[in-house]
Amino acid sequence: MPELPEVEVTRLSFADRIAGARISSAVLGKALRWPLGLPVQQLSGRTVRGVRRRGKYLLLDLDEGLLLLHLGMSGSLSFGRQLPPRGVHDHFELVTTHGTLRLHDPRRFGAVVFVPDEASSQARKLLGRLGMEPLSDDFDVAAFHAGLKARRAAIKQVLLAGDVVVGVGNIYASEALFLAGIRPTLSAARLSRPRAAKLHAAIRDVLARAVEKGGSTLRDFSNAQGENGYFQLDAMVYGREGQPCRVCGTPIKAIRQGQRSTFYCPACQKN
């Protein structure tokens, strides 16, 4: 579910409220992707200083160490003083003086990992290969184009891989490529500088607009206050196979790339 916009919207929906909270207890449900990394009761007594985001990871800064949180495919957070009773898919909970933070994740591809600091080997293993942050200043056209030139794989799959630029998942990769007029199957290395610049702008544009709309709620995403996103209504190609292109009317095509579906307009994205 969650790409950069959904993760950022989630962060914005509880970061201020949880900042300064003291953890009174923590609960683990069924196993997530990786072990927590310390006995869960050792989180008690620590204070949550704030919440940052790196790619699709949320970083909960504690007074000692930090929690790396990933929502996987089906994860969502909720934060509040009066949450409903814990359900079978609620696999992690932090009870704090400001409210309870709860991870709901039916498929359990998500993760909560404690690391002592960002330089630790575990943190570097998860965060170390991440590419540029698309909404920050370090995402510049020259570096982006250089990153693409080194890759012969299809541009869609290079975007998804996250080692050139982070946060672009299956929805927003298709959307950005549509906005830039680029065929998803084109080899990344074959993008000219002007087209790389166009894609760079398209990625920033689509991600920023998606954050403004609260992300995309395809099936069940909601932010930590339980609010849905509405960007799916603005999608130009994602999930629109066979429907007319919103620009030229040509039926949208769907293909498979690396066992993920890709959507594009064969007329607007000629190569």
Partner DNA sequence: AAAAGCCCCTGGATGC
Partner DNA sequence: TGCATCCAGGGGCTTT
Chain contacts with DNA (rule: CB under 7 A): 1-3, 6, 30, 33, 55-56, 70, 72-74, 88-89, 106-109, 125-126, 129, 150-154, 157-158, 160, 162, 169-171, 188, 216-221, 258-261
Which of the residues 17, 46, 53, 56 is marked catalytic? 56
Catalytic residue of the set 193, 204, 213, 260: 260
Q: Is 100 buried (19+), middle (13-18) or exposed (0-12) by CB count in 10 A?
A: buried
Question: What tokens appear for 159 in the block?
Answer: 């975007």
Active site (annotated) includes residue 56: yes
Q: How far is the CB of 100 from DNA (least distance, A)?
A: 22
For residue 185, the SS3 value is coil
Nearer to DNA, 50 or 106 (CB): 106
Which residue number, 21 or 77, has a Cβ lying nearer to DNA? 77
Q: Shortest CA distance to 4 belongs to which of 205, 252, 265? A: 205
Q: Determine the Cα–Cα distance for residues 135 and 225; give it in Å rounded to an integer.
A: 24
Comparison of 22 and 107: residue with beta carbon closer to DNA: 107
Bridge partners, residue 197, by sequence: none
In the complex, what is the shortest distance from the CB of residue 143 to DNA, in angstroms, rounded to a whole number? 14
Shortest distance (Å) from residue 193 CB to DNA: 19
Q: How far is CA 77 from the centre of its chain?
A: 13
Active-site annotation holds for 212: no
The sign one gets for the Cα dihedral 20, 58, 71, 15 is positive
- Is 6 known to be catalytic? no
Q: How far is the CB of 31 from DNA (least distance, A)?
A: 7
How far apart, in whole angstroms, are the C-alpha atoms of residue 102 and residue 115? 19
Among all chains, which residue has been given the structure tokens 């970061």? Answer: 15
99 vs 263 by CB, closer to DNA: 263
SS (HEC) of 11-71: HHCCHHHHCCCEEEEEEECCCCCCCCCCCHHHHCCCEEEEEEEECCEEEEEECCCEEEEEC
Residue 77 C-beta: closest distance to DNA, Å: 13
From 3, 6, 8, 93, the catalytic residue: 3
90-96/23-28 β-pairing = antiparallel
For the question of residue 227 being annotated catalytic, the response is: no
Q: For residues 96 and 262, which CB has a smaller minimum distance to DNA in the complex?
A: 262
Cβ contacts of residue 83 below 8 Å, gap of 6+?
A: 100, 102
Q: Which residues are catalytic?
A: 2-3, 56, 260
